[in-house]
Structure formats: C-alpha cells, structure tokens
Structure 1
C-alpha cells in the first residue's frame, strides 16, 4: 500500500470506486460521488488539480448541509495497492494550528468498503503525518463519530489521544463527535 498523488494514471480506478457508490464524503455520500463524477466528466485535469490546492486558490467547499465555505489550503492523496483503495486528505490554516469551526479536523480519510480491515487507513495516516509536520504543524486533530470504533483504532494506532467530546456544528447535523490529537515530533 502506498499513497499516490491524484493523477490521470490512477483516475480510472478512482472513477470505478465512485461508480460503485463509494465517496470520501461520509455524510453526503452518493450525492458527493455524483458531483465528483460530473466534475471529472467536465474536465478531468481541473478536477485532479482541485485535489492538490496548498494555496487555497480553488472555489469554496460545499459542506454536508449544502452551505459553502472558504477553502483551506489542502491536498489529497489516494491510497493505492495496484487499484484505488481510498483517500486521505490534509487541510490546514496558514500560520495557525487552529481550524475554522466548519473544519472538523486536519486529516480526513475514507477507505472503500471492499478494502476495509486490511490496515490501509492506519498505514495511510502513518504516511501522512510526516507531510503534516513538513508544513509546520506541531500536531494534527482528527474527528470521528463516537460509534466509529475502527476509525478510533486507526487514530490511536498512530499515537492519537482523545482531546474532547463535542457537538458538531449545525452544518454537520449538530451530532456528537470525538476529537483526537496526534503530536508530530
């Protein structure tokens, strides 16, 4: 398993995952997958470029409730084992460790259902942490749902510890969440 930068070389496998119903957006799911497929069909190169935006030059981001917010500097990597296995992304606010309230964490990841349980999320997070350190973050925060035990295990396997139980903002349904922190030494 490795992390790869999104590119035309890997796009066909990514599209196949979207067509099977997978989406990195665990709240908007199929709607988000259709939106991505439409963007790829309209301009695949522009879509790929939008996944690597360390200067936040892209358009606003659509939140689960449909509202749009300012884009943060960010990039995504695809989890790859000869085919697309999932996605992991890093976002940050330049010059700060804090994120705006609408951004639940520095790192988000999602593995396709047919590749879960193979340790890919744990390894992907492990590989992403040095990239977070390289942009100057002393720690990352990652949120998950209280009932998402597999994600909690991924975070804890990478040195994460629970910082707080909180209520997600209204854009995310105002439901309970857990915030973990991983120190980057």
Structure 2
C-alpha cells in the first residue's frame, strides 16, 4: 500500500468506492458520498484539485448537523494498492499553531474501503503522515475516535499515539463520547 496524490487516473477507482457505498466521512456517510459524486460529475478536474487545499480556498465544510464552517488548510492522500483505491487519509491544520478550531476534531482523519480493511492499511497510512505534518510546521498531531472504535484506537497506538483525554464531542457532532489522541512528531 502506498499513499498517492489524487489524480485523474485514480478517479474511476475512487468513484467505484463511493458508488459502492463507501464514504471517507464516517458521520455523514452516504449523504457525503452522494455530494462528492455530484461534485465529480460536475467538475472532475476541480474535484481532484480540491483534494489539496493548503490555502483553504475551498467552500465551507458541512458538519454532521448540517451547519457549515470555514474550511482550514489541508489535503487528502489516497491509499492505493495493486488492486486500486483503498481509502483516504487527510491532514488539516491552522498555520503557525497546533491548535484547531472547535469544529475540527483532529489533524488527521482516515477511512479504509470495507473490502480492504484488516490489512494494516490505516496503520501504514498513518505511519507515513508525520513527515507531511512536520512539513506543515506541526510538532504533534491529534486524532479523535469514538469511545467504542477499538480498531482506530489500535491504529493510533501502533503509531505512537497517546490518549490525551476523553471528552464529549461538540453538539454539531452529536455530543457523543470521544477520545483525543496525540502523536508527537520526532
């Protein structure tokens, strides 16, 4: 498995995953997948270009409760193996600080296509992220998980993550219990 920058030749495999019911958005799920498919149909090249948005020029971000917030800088890399698209990992940040706005629960988010899970792909993708985060000036990255997401917690722990706190997610995310993890970048 390798991380690739999204490109036109990768798009058919990405679209197939979306059409198959997968979404990188683990909260908005199918709604988010349909929104992405509509953006791809409208402007595939624009969609691909928007996967790297270091200046936060893209439109507002829709939260799970339907509210919208300003975008922060970030980019997505796609997980790719010899069979095609496997998932996504994203990095987001605020320039000059590790602090994130309250509506952004972590620096890193990832999702693996169901048929490619349990192969260590999320662990490998997260392991490749620290140099990318350091290049953006970050000294550490934070990730959040649901309290009951043991698989994601194992991925983070395998990459040196330390549980920082248990907290209630903001109301826009349903107020459910969550965990905040930190990986110090060396």
If the TM-score is normalised by the length of the shorter chain, which range does it land in?
over 0.9
SS at match of 2:128: helix
Task: Look up the match of 1:159.
Answer: 160
Task: Look up the match of 1:78.
Answer: 78
Per mean C-alpha deviation after superposition, the further-off stretch among 117-126 and 57-66 is: 57-66
Task: Look up the match of 2:95.
Answer: 94
Question: Does 1:150 find its partner at 2:142?
Answer: no
Question: Does 1:34 find its partner at 2:38?
Answer: no
SS at match of 1:144: strand
TM-score if structure 2 supplies the norm length? 0.98
Q: 1:76 deviation in Å?
A: 0.1
Q: 1:95 deviation in Å?
A: 1.2
TM-score if structure 1 supplies the norm length? 0.99
Task: Look up the match of 1:170.
Answer: 171
Distance in 2 (CA, whole Å) between partners of 1:54 and 1:104 is 18
Question: Does 1:130 find its partner at 2:131?
Answer: yes
Task: Look up the match of 2:25.
Answer: 25
Runs of 4+ in 1 over 3 A off after TM superposition: none
Distance in 2 (CA, whole Å) between partners of 1:27 and 1:56 is 22
In structure 1, stretches of 5+ residues that fail to align are none
In structure 2, stretches of 5+ residues that fail to align are none
Distance in 1 (CA, whole Å) between partners of 2:170 and 2:117 is 28
CA RMSD of aligned residues (A): 0.5
Distance in 2 (CA, whole Å) between partners of 1:162 and 1:149 is 13
Task: Look up the match of 2:105.
Answer: 104
Q: 1:128 deviation in Å?
A: 1.2
